[in-house]
Chain A
Amino acid sequence: MPTDRAQFREELLDRAVSVLLAGGFLVVLILAWQLITTLELLPAYLVPTPAATAHAIWKDLTDPRFWNDQLFQTLYVVLVGFAIAAVAGLVIGPLLILHPLIERSVYPFVVAFQTMPKIAMAPLILVWLGYGHTSKFVITALVAFFPVVVNVIAGLKAGDERQLILMRALRASWWTRMTKVRIPNALPYIFAGLDIAVVFAVIGAIVAEFLGSPNGLGSLVIIRQTNVDIPGLFSVLFFLAVMGSTLHLIITGLARKFTFWSQTADNKVAKR
């Protein structure tokens, strides 16, 4: 991607300002938090001090069992569930619009299903599949699937109609039209869908772990709640936020690489 040098510097400066502003806001937040705890505006057993929270985070950070039994377990469920959702969405999306008959008969159900909170199906899936990895993967994938499939479909329909007329004028095959026009046009939408999906996958994995998993951050939340370990809960939330942000940054990084040509890539999101 060719970038004008002046424009590049301007963008860099713009980013630096963003980082400074966000950092400044964080400092304000922590100061306010410190103030609330030192003035005991909220009882200490409900809101731990920043120091106590930092200590809990540090304790988890340096505990190999936290990594192996909790964080990596959740990450594993998130990644597998997300991968299933992404592949399924990328395969099923195009199939749904392959023929107007399929689209008109099946798509209304996709939309109807999409409006239902998939999380509510988690207990049912546990009954069907039992405790274990499979049910966690399925719950996660189910939550993450819809933003992918809906955006794949929206993306494949996007683009200038005349691009396709041009391909028809060249008597291009279905496959050529797909690979040269429809899929590239769909990429900004697909990445927007994957971005939502990866965040949804974290939610799905945590809920699956809430419902009786021996390990993972979701189960750790339940254990620490039972023990009224409030700093510990804050620590888990912190790690979940880091996990979500990292995954989001990876997807947006890939999106920027593959859809640099799209000026409105960030706006292209169909309904979740």
Chain B
Amino acid sequence: MTSLVSVNGVSKTYETRRGEKVLAIGEVNLHLAEEEFVSLIGPSGCGKSTLLHVAAGLLKPTTGEVLVRGENRPIRAEEFGMVFQDAVLFPWLTIRQNIEMPAEVLRIPKAVYKPRATELIELVGLAGFGDMYPRELSGGMQQRAAIARSLIHDPELLLMDEPFGAVDAITRENLNIELQRIRRVARKTVLFVTHSISEAVFLSNRVVIMSARPSKVRAVIDIDLPADRGPALIESPEFDVFVRRVHRELGHHAH
């Protein structure tokens, strides 16, 4: 089976304004199968965002290549959605207009995206908030809107860069449970950057652990937990086993 996205031998060197070269990514290989949820975890500045941007075709890798369904071509706009650490909504648009924006840019017919927007607003739990403006919503609710926006054009792949890094712990847990549900309902492939070990374990089929800059993949851990995951799982001993393994691979000492 060909992967949806293959990152083959990708490295990235940035050149700073003063002409110094920064090797952000050493060499990374990564394969995303369809409907797989893969988390990237690693120290800050190790090139996780860079890797996401390379996968999105927003940055050219210095070496290596990104294959989409086995073809050496940049991923198309229709094929992926993006979510950042903050919602990055447009404050002059209502929540509904924000969610519809990518569909409008991609010239998807109104008859297709209007009903979809309504469905997505419900799916992410924002029913009744569609006509409000972003600043009238909490950070967590804004982030739900950003997730709905990333799904409006029905892409196969979601690229999420620490999407819950800026919300409080309780909201974060709720959002994790919902993201897990949403992506199962919507059958998406996800590449998810996080700093949270338990979040990575809870959401992922695989956790990719990266080393410090110049980064390499240090370890890949398959998370053999049931597909349908709920809050109860977090307290189970199996969950703990995986958390400890990721923790150990990250270079910490086990408690």
Residues of A near any B CB (own CB < 8 A) = 1-2, 160, 162-163, 165-172, 176, 180-181, 184, 187, 259, 261-263
Shortest distance between the CB of B245 and any CB in chain A (Å): 33
**Are A166 and B135 in contact, with the CB atoms below 8 A?**
no
Q: Are A261 and B105 closer than 8 Å at their CB atoms?
A: no
Contact B135 A169 (CB under 8 A): no
Chain B residues with Cβ under 8 A from A184's Cβ?
90, 92
Least CB distance, A231 to chain B, in whole angstroms: 49
| Residue contact A261 to B91, C-beta cutoff 8 Å | yes
**B84 at interface, CB cutoff 8 A:** yes
**Which size bracket describes the interface of B in this complex?**
20 to 34
Q: A180-B101, A261-B91, A263-B135 given as contacts; is B77 within 8 A of A169 (CB)?
A: yes
B53, closest chain A residue (CB) = A165
A165 touches B90 (CB 8 A): no
Bound CA span A2–B77, Å: 33
Interface residues of B in 71-99 (CB under 8 A from A): 76-77, 80, 82, 84, 86, 88, 90-92
Pick the residue among A160, A169, A259 that contacts B58 (CB under 8 A): A169
Assess whether A262 is in contact with B80, with CB atoms less than 8 Å apart: no
Name the prevailing secondary structure of the A interface residues.
helix
A1, A162, A180, A259: the one within 8 Å of B84 (CB): A162
User: Closest A-chain residue to B85, C-beta based?
Assistant: A162
Q: How far is the CA of A172 from the CA of B105 in the complex (A)?
A: 7
Nearest Cβ distance between residue B236 and chain A, in whole angstroms?
Answer: 37
Residues of B within 8 A of A2 (CB): 131-133, 136
Q: Does B102 contact A (CB under 8 A)?
A: yes
- In the complex, 22 of the A-B residue pairs with CB atoms within 8 angstroms, ordered by the A residue number, are A1-B133, A2-B132, A160-B86, A162-B84, A162-B86, A163-B88, A167-B105, A168-B58, A169-B56, A169-B58, A169-B80, A170-B102, A170-B106, A171-B76, A176-B105, A180-B105, A181-B90, A187-B92, A259-B92, A261-B91, A261-B133, A261-B135
Tell me the number of A-to-B contacts counted with CB atoms below 8 Å: 49
Known: A261-B92, A263-B135. A169 touches B101 (CB 8 A): no
Q: Tell me the minimal C-beta distance from B100 to chain A in angstroms.
A: 12
Contacts of A187 on B, CB cut-off 8 Å?
Answer: 92
Beyond A2-B132, A160-B86, A165-B82, list 5 extra A-B contacts (CB 8 Å). A163-B90, A165-B58, A168-B58, A169-B77, A180-B90
Interface centre among B53, B90, B135 (most CB of A within 10 A): B90
The 4 closest A-B pairs by CB, nearest first: A171-B77, A261-B91, A261-B92, A162-B88
* A2 to B94 Cα, complex, angstroms: 11
Q: Scoring B residues 133 to 167 as 1 if CB is less than 8 Å from chain A, else 0, what string do you get?
A: 10110000000000000000000000000000000
Which B residues from 8 to 26 make CB contacts under 8 A with A?
Answer: none
Assembled-state Cα–Cα distance A261/B106 (Å) = 25
Of the candidates B76, B105, B132, the one having the most CB atoms from chain A within 10 angstroms of its own CB is B105
A residues near B102, Cβ cutoff 8 Å? 170
Q: Which residues of A contact B77 (CB under 8 A)?
A: 169-171
Inter-chain contacts of B135 with A (CB < 8 A): 261, 263
Q: Please report the C-alpha to C-alpha distance between residue A160 and residue B131 in the assembled complex, in whole angstroms.
A: 23
Q: Which residues of B contact A163 (CB under 8 A)?
A: 88, 90
B100-123 interface (Cβ within 8 A of A): 101-102, 105-106
A168 closest partner in B (C-beta)? B58
How long is the Cα–Cα vector from A52 to B88 in the complex, in angstroms?
60
Known contacts A163-B88, A181-B90, A184-B90: does B105 contact A170 (CB below 8 Å)?
A: yes
Contacts of A263 in B (CB 8 A): 135
Contacts of A180 in B (CB 8 A): 90, 101, 105
Q: State the CA gap A184–B53 with chains docked (Å).
A: 25
Give the docked Cα–Cα distance between A212 and B56 (Å).
65
Residues of B within 8 A of A162 (CB): 84, 86, 88
Distance, CA A162 to CA B106, complexed state (A) = 18
